[in-house]
Amino acid sequence: MIRGRLEPGGQVRGIRVAGGRIVGIGPPVEPPAASLTGEATCIVSQAFFDLQVNGFAGVDFNRPGLSGEELLRASRALWAHGVAQFLPTVITASLNAMAQTLATIRRAREDAPVLARAVPGIHLEGPFLCPQDGARGAHPRAHVRDPDWETFCRLQEAAGGHIRLVTLAPERPGALDLIERLRAAGVVVAIGHTDATEADIDAAVQAGAQLSSHLGNGAHAVLPRHRNYIQKQLATDGLLASIIVDGHHLAEYFVKNVVRCKGPERVILITDAMAAAGAPPGMYRLGEVLAEAQPDGVVRLPGTPYLAGSALTMDRAVANVRRFAGVTLAQALAMAAEHPRRLWPESPGGLTPGAPADIVLLRDGERLEVVETIVAGETVYRAAQR
| pLDDT, the chain, mean | 92
Looking at the structure, do residues 82 and 22 belong to the same domain, yes or no?
A: no
Output phi, psi for 72, to 5 deg.
-65, -40
- Mean pLDDT, range 346-357, rounded to an integer: 81
200-209, 288-297, 366-375: which has the minimum mean pLDDT? 288-297
Res 379 pLDDT > 90: yes
Q: Which residue has the higher pLDDT, 361 or 39?
A: 361
In a domain, 34, yes or no: yes
Number of domains forming the structure of the chain: 2
pLDDT band, residue 162 (cuts 50/70/90): very high
Long-range contacts of 350-355 (CB under 8 A, 24+ apart): 350/46, 351/6, 351/15, 351/22, 351/25, 351/44, 351/45, 351/46, 352/22, 352/25, 353/22, 353/23, 353/24, 353/25, 354/21, 354/22, 354/23, 355/21, 355/22, 355/46
Res 33 pLDDT > 60: no
Looking at the structure, do residues 26 and 90 belong to the same domain, yes or no?
A: no
Find how far residue 111's CA is from the centre of its chain.
23
The pLDDT score that the predictor gives to residue 366 is 81
The pLDDT score that the predictor gives to residue 300 is 86
Rounded Cα distance between 284 and 272, Å, is 14
Q: Which residue has the higher pLDDT, 106 or 384?
A: 106
Four-residue CA torsion sign, 127, 131, 135, 138: positive
Rounded Cα distance between 129 and 358, Å, is 34
In a domain, 279, yes or no: yes
pLDDT band, residue 316 (cuts 50/70/90): very high
The pLDDT score that the predictor gives to residue 1 is 82
Looking at the structure, do residues 37 and 165 belong to the same domain, yes or no?
A: no
Looking at the structure, do residues 300 and 369 belong to the same domain, yes or no?
A: no
Q: Which domain holds residue 11?
A: 2-43+362-382
pTM: 0.94
In a domain, 356, yes or no: no
In a domain, 355, yes or no: no
Q: Of 253, 368, 251, 247, whose CA–CA distance to 298 is shortest?
A: 247
- Mean pLDDT, range 182-208, rounded to an integer: 98
The pLDDT score that the predictor gives to residue 224 is 95
Burial group, residue 244, by CB count within 10 angstroms (0-12, 13-18, 19+): buried
- Mean pLDDT, range 370-378, rounded to an integer: 94
The pLDDT score that the predictor gives to residue 9 is 75
Looking at the structure, do residues 268 and 368 belong to the same domain, yes or no?
A: no
Q: How many CB atoms lie within 10 A of CB 185?
A: 13
pLDDT band, residue 261 (cuts 50/70/90): very high
The pLDDT score that the predictor gives to residue 386 is 60
Q: Please give the positions annotated as active site.
A: 272
pLDDT in tens, 325-340: 999 999 999 999 999 9
Q: Is the CB of residue 362 less than 8 Å from the CB of residue 369?
A: yes
Rounded Cα distance between 115 and 98, Å, is 20
Looking at the structure, do residues 63 and 9 belong to the same domain, yes or no?
A: no
Looking at the structure, do residues 193 and 317 belong to the same domain, yes or no?
A: yes
Output phi, psi for 119, to 5 deg.
-120, 85
- Mean pLDDT, range 372-386, rounded to an integer: 89
Looking at the structure, do residues 209 and 68 belong to the same domain, yes or no?
A: yes
Res 371 pLDDT > 90: yes
In a domain, 7, yes or no: yes
Q: Is the CB of residue 122 less than 8 Å from the CB of residue 105?
A: yes
Q: Which residue has the higher pLDDT, 83 or 285?
A: 83
The pLDDT score that the predictor gives to residue 249 is 95
pLDDT band, residue 305 (cuts 50/70/90): confident
In a domain, 354, yes or no: no
Looking at the structure, do residues 37 and 55 belong to the same domain, yes or no?
A: no
Looking at the structure, do residues 314 and 200 belong to the same domain, yes or no?
A: yes
In a domain, 353, yes or no: no
Looking at the structure, do residues 93 and 154 belong to the same domain, yes or no?
A: yes
Res 32 pLDDT > 60: no
Q: Is the CB of residue 146 less than 8 Å from the CB of residue 173?
A: yes
The pLDDT score that the predictor gives to residue 372 is 95
Helix, strand or coil for residue 329? helix
pLDDT band, residue 30 (cuts 50/70/90): low
In a domain, 357, yes or no: no
Q: How many CB atoms lie within 10 A of CB 110?
A: 12
Burial group, residue 284, by CB count within 10 angstroms (0-12, 13-18, 19+): buried
The pLDDT score that the predictor gives to residue 34 is 46
Q: What is the CATH number of the domain that holds 210?
A: 3.20.20.140
- Mean pLDDT, range 34-61, rounded to an integer: 86
pLDDT band, residue 348 (cuts 50/70/90): low
Rounded Cα distance between 34 and 26, Å, is 18
Res 177 pLDDT > 90: yes
Amino acid identity at 204: A
Looking at the structure, do residues 251 and 304 belong to the same domain, yes or no?
A: yes
pLDDT in tens, 218-258: 999 999 999 999 999 999 999 999 999 999 999 999 999 99
26-40, 130-144, 285-299: which has the minimum mean pLDDT? 26-40
